[in-house]
Amino acid sequence: MSAHIKAQGLSKTYRVPVREAGLRSAVKSLFRPRFDEVQAVKNVSFQVERGEMVGFIGPNGAGKTTTLKMLSGLLYPSSGSVDAAGHIPWKRKPHYLQKISMLMGNRSQLQWNNTVYDTLYIFKEIYGVSESEFKQHLSELCDLLDLGKLLTKRSRNLSLGERSKCEFALALLHKPEILYLDEPTLGMDVTMQLRLREYIREYNRRFGATVILTSHYMSDVTSLCERVLLINQGKLVYDGRLATLTERITPYKIVKLTLDREELTQEELRTQRIKAELTEIQGNEYTLRVHKQDTVTAGALLMSLYNVLDFSITDPPMEAVIDKIYTEGGLG
């Protein structure tokens, strides 16, 4: 199968004006402006297959949005190449723009003074969607995003969550084959986030769309993407399965147990030769961190030595995994 998106040695360097504080520097910069070069993306290469959903993760300023902008055609790279659906994105040919959609959570496509329906209709015309397709797509979108009551409202009167839903509807109206989603669930409540994720999954399944997603809500990424691209300080530091990443970064499990009385301490664990680290105590509820290879033994010992009312073993939260990478600067 040939790659739907193929990026090769992609780099982007920005030239940023800089000056010291104060009047003297301000005047000096009028005649001799100084610039710093900021390498936002450094030699990034990856491939995404048709119909794949990939999470693009990294801390603020890592280069995620810059990369997405290069893929969508909004940015011209300093070096490297991209082939997306057979096109060079930054040439922004209408054929390519018809095939993609880029949803930026912090940028609006809605027309402030128009009703949602009118804006959708304008997009229908811009993207050349036929009348029958429009009716069908709109009905699906109304169903999935609960848009019905919003269609006759003016965009300026929508709440943040309602606006996000409508932005999503606009992005998908022409059935793009590639979706670039930059923080798509920004400002949505939990219920809406869940519905939207469900819709993205359904859209991907039904239309075989390729999705690249960035989000600071890790649950967006964990629930939708098996594969992640991890970018930090402009460099691609990981490209692979999300589960493998978790395994590599945090090779431990989280054990939660409730005992019939308050008796567990780190000293007690050491005495009982239970290889675990007590990380949280709330009354008679305990949270322990146990190395994966010791989980079975530790679990058995805890169950046999104490009167356990409740017991669970889970993977560490994705946020903890990502935080470890961000704070330590890479995968080591």
Non-local (6+) Cβ contacts of 42 within 8 A are: 11, 63, 233, 234, 235
**Which residues, numbered 65-104, are part of the site for another protein (CB under 8 A)?**
66, 69, 72-76, 90, 92, 94-95, 97-98, 100, 102, 104
Nearer to another protein, 85 or 278 (CB): 85
Question: Which range binds another protein by CB under 8 A, 126-134, 209-217, 263-271, 300-308?
Answer: 126-134
Strand partners, 230: 57, 238
Query: From the list 124, 165, 197, 253, which residue makes contact with another protein (rule: CB under 8 A)?
Result: 124
Q: Residue 281 and residue 308: Cα distance in Å, rounded? A: 15
Query: From the list 8, 14, 47, 151, which residue makes contact with another protein (rule: CB under 8 A)?
Result: 14
- Taking the complex as a whole, the smallest distance from the CB of residue 8 to another protein amounts, in Å, to 19
Query: Judged by CB under 8 A, does residue 15 bind another protein?
Result: yes
Nearest to 314 by CA among 279, 266, 273, 282: 279
Query: Judged by CB under 8 A, does residue 315 bind another protein?
Result: no
Q: Is the four-CA dihedral 278, 281, 284, 286 of positive or negative sign?
A: negative
Length of the chain: 332
Nearer to another protein, 75 or 145 (CB): 75
- Taking the complex as a whole, the smallest distance from the CB of residue 102 to another protein amounts, in Å, to 6
Query: Judged by CB under 8 A, does residue 119 bind another protein?
Result: yes
- Taking the complex as a whole, the smallest distance from the CB of residue 294 to another protein amounts, in Å, to 49
Q: Which two tokens stand for residue 154?
A: 């003016």
**Which residues, numbered 257-286, are part of the site for another protein (CB under 8 A)?**
none
Query: Judged by CB under 8 A, does residue 112 bind another protein?
Result: yes
Query: Judged by CB under 8 A, does residue 231 bind another protein?
Result: no
Q: Residue 248 and residue 330: Cα distance in Å, rounded? A: 12
The four Cα atoms 103, 107, 109, 114 give a dihedral, to 10 degrees, of 140
The answer to whether 179 touches 209, Cβ cutoff 8 Å, is: yes
- Taking the complex as a whole, the smallest distance from the CB of residue 77 to another protein amounts, in Å, to 9
Query: Judged by CB under 8 A, does residue 35 bind another protein?
Result: no
Question: Which range binds another protein by CB under 8 A, 80-88, 122-130, 217-225, 295-303?
Answer: 122-130
Nearer to another protein, 40 or 53 (CB): 40
Nearer to another protein, 92 or 291 (CB): 92
- Taking the complex as a whole, the smallest distance from the CB of residue 55 to another protein amounts, in Å, to 22
Query: From the list 28, 43, 85, 122, which residue makes contact with another protein (rule: CB under 8 A)?
Result: 122
Query: Which own/partner contact pairs does 194-200 have at CB distance under 8 Å and 24+ positions apart?
Result: 195/144, 195/145, 195/146, 196/145, 196/164, 196/165, 196/168, 197/223, 197/224, 198/144, 199/144, 199/145, 199/168, 200/53, 200/224
Nearer to another protein, 24 or 112 (CB): 112
Chain residues in the site for another protein (CB under 8 A): 14-15, 66, 69, 72-76, 90, 92, 94-95, 97-98, 100, 102, 104, 107-109, 111-115, 118-119, 121-122, 124-128, 154
